[in-house]
Chains A and B, each alone.
Chain A
């Protein structure tokens, strides 16, 4: 397979220039995620207001898949309700585990090549697990194990 199927331009670009890559001073929810296999480590900050994600950011270090996925995630989750966030994560999981792109969501679909690299699925979902843990107020570190 062509490597650009895994590392689509959206991923390379978000890895080089991650969006919302900072601490969030207004955050009232924080959760960490780590993937002991890869050594990916990130922290997701959420400002939750009346069941909506008013603002969201992340910090950390890891492979291009984990960094780009977290970057895209922060863009897609900002302004969403908790229920919407959960639905989006479910859709994203389908994309990365089954490789079926979502025609209406090109940014999430950029991760469809991940399903051919089973070891990397954990990298792609790490930020999402941490974000939903933060939203649900689960303090424990999200791991991909």
Chain B
């Protein structure tokens, strides 16, 4: 990899996140639970406050000035999101509550398109939010699920049989870009191209990648892509579903209510055009405004730079943790996202996390909403450290030190 032409001043960026400047249980906070949610820079917090202090009103409803401002801010955020992932037009951006709702939306509106015997292809490394909505869709329609296998601890997708798996009555292939448990970065463009060659619609779960890596939906060639604001320095409660325009046009609505209609009569209604057809009710307007600020912020830093920063921290963490006796690292050794997951022999992840918390280090322990994957790997739970742009090499050292202490404190079972 060639060195970056421009390296951001990471220490200065860290100072943009006021929450990080505190002690927890008497120790400096080391926040390493970014896979669950990221912290917010002042620019995002200020954008939310400014919206509520000056511009708040409902959107697309009224003629008055504040409503005009709120509508403009909301639609500007949509246009920003379109540029952020290089969608062909803002109409391809549907605002949702987050990745989970985005995927549920697609799973719901696909109900009339599936028949008994059809297949939905997933992978073994999906988050429950990219598994359970498809289980529900399969139950509604009589379709069944098929899975691209994961190869052991290194956590890569085994693509040798992908063309077989995409053959037959496969209607949809949904997979994650970056695994929230293993840190694996999947070859999205290749997977989408192979799906398309079989006439299969593709959906990319970009929850763990949208704030970490450059995303270009036209280069990736995906039909749908879903992500959450709160995992990319934005507010909770707002997310995006990208869908190819022609596909969105051809689908029936998700929820019914205000905003999504063109004309309503007592017995039936006609639908508004996309994307409004999929946005019933008052949306999270302030959330969209905050997400806009987050996207501006991330673009200012540069997502390619953030991706390199993530990878350096993850590699350093793997190198440091590997030396701890009884520690089993999960996930790929090369080209990984900002996630490092591990198990300590005989010591449960929740004990490790409780120990680390007392040292001010915020980690995640458990199944990370990927129970079937952990069952396959034969670990009941893992401890996960996940990084973001404000984390530092010194925090990686602190992580390794605390994990090492935890291993000694609990000791392995005889």
Q: Which residues of A contact B (CB under 8 A)?
A: 1, 3, 6-7, 12, 15-18, 37-41, 61-65, 67, 117, 120, 123
Contacts and interface: CB of A to CB of B under 8 A. Distances in A.
Contacts of B25: 1
Contacts of B412: 16
9 contacts: A3-B358, A16-B412, A37-B366, A38-B350, A39-B380, A61-B380, A63-B350, A64-B347, A65-B351
B414 A64 contact: no
B64 interface: no
Interface string B395-414: 00000000000000111111
A12 B367 CA distance: 23
B53 to A, nearest CB: 36
Contacts of B354: 3, 6, 117, 120
Interface residues of B, number: 20
Nearest to A18: B413
B42 interface: no
Interface of B: 25, 346-351, 354-355, 358, 366-367, 380-381, 409-414
Given A16-B346, A117-B354, 6 more contacts: A3-B354, A17-B414, A38-B381, A40-B348, A63-B351, A120-B354
B409 A15 contact: no
B315 to A, nearest CB: 28
A61 B346 CA distance: 9
A3 B409 contact: yes
A62 B380 CA distance: 8
Nearest to B412: A16
B404 to A, nearest CB: 15
Chain A interface, >50% SS class: mixed
A8 to B, nearest CB: 12
A64 B355 CA distance: 12
A120 B358 CA distance: 14
Query: Which 7 A-B pairs rank lowest in CB-CB distance, beginning with the nearest?
Result: A63-B348, A63-B350, A39-B381, A64-B351, A3-B358, A38-B350, A63-B351
B130 to A, nearest CB: 19
Contacts of A37: 366
Nearest to B358: A3
Contact of B413 (A3, A17, A38, A123): A17
A123 B353 CA distance: 14
A76 to B, nearest CB: 21
